[in-house]
Amino acid sequence: MDDTQRAFLDELLTTPSPSGFETRGQRVWVDYVSQFADRVETDAYGNAIAVHEGDPTVDTSFAIGGHADEIGFIVRDIVDDGFLRIARVGGSDRTVSKGQHVTVHTDDGPVQGVIGQTAIHLREGDEEYEDISEQFVDVGAEDEDDAEDLVAVGDPVTFSSEIQELANTRVAARGMDNRVGTWVAAEALRRAAAAGADATVYAVSTVQEEVGLKGAQMVGFDLDPDAYVAVDVTHATDNPDVATSNRGPVELSEGPVVGRGSANHPTLVELARESGDADDVDFQLQAAGSRTGTDADGVFTQRGGVPSLNIGIPNRYMHTPVEVVDTEDLDAVADLCAGMAERAGEHAPFSVEI
């Protein structure tokens, strides 16, 4: 990853993009891909698609997508004493939210706050974590009128954590899920275009994955590609406190994770494995018996069936403010997806033999 690619990643990670409020993050993505894509399009809800036209005589289209949105909160109510009641945006974890710095993103700019946590001295015993709906944000307002001058019901809220460099090539930040996937989609397109891929290659950055794969369903129907690779984070279960029953084969720094089962189309699995072997990209395998939990689930049933594959990026501590990935994994996933795009025409049409 060179300095330009890293600067793009950092800008994605530091630009707030909660589900339903992805516009700023999508602008960062569009500006980057516009430097090398043949064209860039957006739709009514802000899904973004960058295109490498390829060879016009090759009738194969291959899409690589990540989702732009991050989990967070939304202002649900402003109460008499000036505190804000909040609701979840996506799968926010009540066990990590209290005592955190947050930013309320208002029409007039950011407002800083904290999610209150009663001091240990004043708590009675080991109280259970309250539901998000029972937690509150303190923005320093004196009363309801004061708070209403600062924020409005419906303003999105995100954690205020910054990017932290860890040892080796590992990085911690909020919202790795899934700005790293949109980074991969953009970089895979750039690399496939530089290699002169014959297929039409799409890089996609979808909206509202965290609230039900909504953007993927829109894109899957409208774009109707011959194949779709959904790049998303997946659980690296190599940290000490993961229960034995939840441990799996995925480790940080061990490369892309190719899903098998459910929505993962066998021909695309074969293409991924072939590309990894041919390009010396180490990869891991992961079972998906019922669902992938990614945009692949939203795309593959569109238009009578769009062959889809989930490729995972190993990620520790998902849905916390301190998600950890290895930037070498990101490069490896981009290389794998670019290699698949280059070979797409050799494997099309993507269908199983009966």
Residue positions annotated with a catalytic role: 209
Q: Would you call the peptide bond into 349 cis, given omega within 30 degrees of 0 as the criterion?
A: yes
Residue 169: CB atoms within 10 A of its CB come to 15
3-state SS track over the chain: CCHHHHHHHHHHHHCCCECCCCHHHHHHHHHHHCCCCCEEEECCCCCEEEEECCCCCCCCEEEEEEECCECEEEEEEECCCCCEEEEEECCCCHHHHCCCEEEEEECCEEEEEEECCCCHHHCCCCCCCCCHHHCEEECCCCCHHHHHCCCCCCCEEEECCCCEECCCCEEEECCHHHHHHHHHHHHHHHHHHHCCCCCEEEEEEECCCCCCCHHHHHHHHHHCCCEEEEEEEEECCCCCCCCHHHCCCCCCCCCCEEEEECCECHHHHHHHHHHHHHCCCCCEEEECCCCCCCHHHHHCCHHHCCCEEEEEEEEECCCCCCEEEEHHHHHHHHHHHHHHHHHHHHHCCCCCCC
Q: Is 177 annotated as a binding residue?
A: yes
Q: Is 347 annotated as a binding residue?
A: no
> How many whole angstroms separate alpha carbon 148 and alpha carbon 162?
27
Q: Is 235 annotated as a binding residue?
A: no
Q: Is 210 annotated as a binding residue?
A: yes
> What's the token pair of residue 9?
């990643």
Phi, psi of 307 (to 5 degrees): -50, 125
Report the binding-site residues.
67, 177, 210, 232, 319
Report the binding-site residues for Zn(2+).
67, 177, 210, 232, 319
